[in-house]
Structure formats: C-alpha cells, structure tokens
Amino acid sequence: MTGQVQVLTHPLAQSFLTDIRDRRSQRAIIRNRIRALSVLLFYEATRDLPQHAQPVTTPLAETCGVHVGATVGLVPVLRAGLGMVDGILEFLPEARVFHLGLFRDETTLQPVEYYSKFAEHEPVNIAFVLDPMLATGGSAVAAVTRLKEWGVKSIRYLGLFAAPEGVAKLTAAHPDVPIHVVAVDSHLNDRGYIVPGMGDAGDRQFSA
C-alpha cells in the first residue's frame, strides 16, 4: 500500500470496529462505536498539531502551559460523517464545523455536491475530512479538492473503512493528505460497496 495511510490497529479500536461490522448491531451501538473510534482517530491524527505557549497560574505557582496553535475545521461529509463530529468536539470544543453535502450517484458512483457553506468564511489552518467510508475514493477526492480551492493548506482524512481502490485514488489525487482509518478492507463489490465493510454507513447510523 503506497501513500500516507495510517491504520489504527489498537485492540480496542479493532473490537469496536467488529461491533460496527456486525449486522446484528443496533443503531445505538453503531453510533457509540463510531463516536469512540472518531476520537481515537483524531487523537492519532493530531499528534503534530501546532502549539502555542500559554502561561498558567496553578494554586501553587506560575508555569508554562500550551494550547492548540492553529484554527481547526471538522468537515463531516453528509450524511455518514455526521456521526464522527460530536466525540471530537468534546476534545476540541473550539473546532469549527463545516458540513459538506455529497452523495454518490448510484449508477455512475460519482459524487454529487448538494451542500457547502465554508467558502463564505476564512479558511482554517487545518481541516479534517470526516467520512466513515473511503470506497471508490470519489467523494474523498471531491471533498479535499473543495477544501484546497477554499485555501486550506493542511488537510487530513479520517475514516473507518477503506477499500484499496479508494486509498489509491485519494493518494494519487492528493498525495499530501494523510489518511487515517481503522481498516483497509478486501475490495469493492459491483455496487461500489466496501467488502466486508459495514454496509451502508448512513443507513446503519440513521435509518436502517
């Protein structure tokens, strides 16, 4: 596998992913596990986040502290990426959130944009694309392209399941974008679904 792909192999992460895969898992479990895994992915993907010095006075003394020294944007790809937002916001409540509406045309498998607002604002320093499924890679490439057009200089992709095809496409189009996932699965089926994957990530979180 080429490119900057980081797979979260921690046993707890893999156990949560197994719950998500399980066709018997109810919505509440799926949501809970996606939320937890998103936090773990964000933790891994922010190890090199810039810091700025922040003097702080404890009850005992003054000391040197730090805070995050960059503006951070979370970019959930609707619908399925929505479930990845709230857990991360508990860690970084000041992060901005820019929703990006993309759906895959079922026939062509090409992404179709139907909602975005971020271009009205100043670009953030670092943006995290949040989408559980990196399948053909079309949606991820489109999302990153939009963020670059907006002027974001540092972009990272956080997802749960990737297909080799999606990793290859995103890496070829945007080799500067690190990809953080919990599994790179076997292949895509003839409808562009990741196998074994979790099925339809939007439906399983919100409506199945």
Contact residues for 92 (Cβ-Cβ < 8 A; gap 6+): 42, 68, 72
Q: Does 102 contact ligand PRP by CB under 6 A?
A: yes
The angle at the Cα of 128, spanning 125 to 129, to the nearest 5 degrees, equals 135
| Beta carbon nearer to ligand PRP, 37 or 102 | 102
- Helix residue spans in 46-135 (DSSP H): 85-91
Query: Least Å distance between CB 181 and ligand URA?
Result: 13
Q: Does 87 contact ligand URA by CB under 6 A?
A: no
- Per the CB < 8 A criterion, the answer to whether 198 and 160 are in contact is yes
**Which of positions 150-169 make contact with ligand URA (CB under 6 A)?**
none
| Beta carbon nearer to ligand PRP, 132 or 178 | 132
Select from 54-62, 68-76, 121-129, 200-208 the region that touches ligand URA (CB under 6 A): 200-208
Q: Does 80 contact ligand PRP by CB under 6 A?
A: yes
Q: Does 133 contact ligand URA by CB under 6 A?
A: yes
Q: Is 203 one of the annotated active-site residues of the chain?
A: yes
Q: How many CA atoms lie within 13 A of 146 on its CB side?
A: 25
- Per the CB < 8 A criterion, the answer to whether 155 and 178 are in contact is no
Catalytic annotation, residues: 104, 108, 200, 203
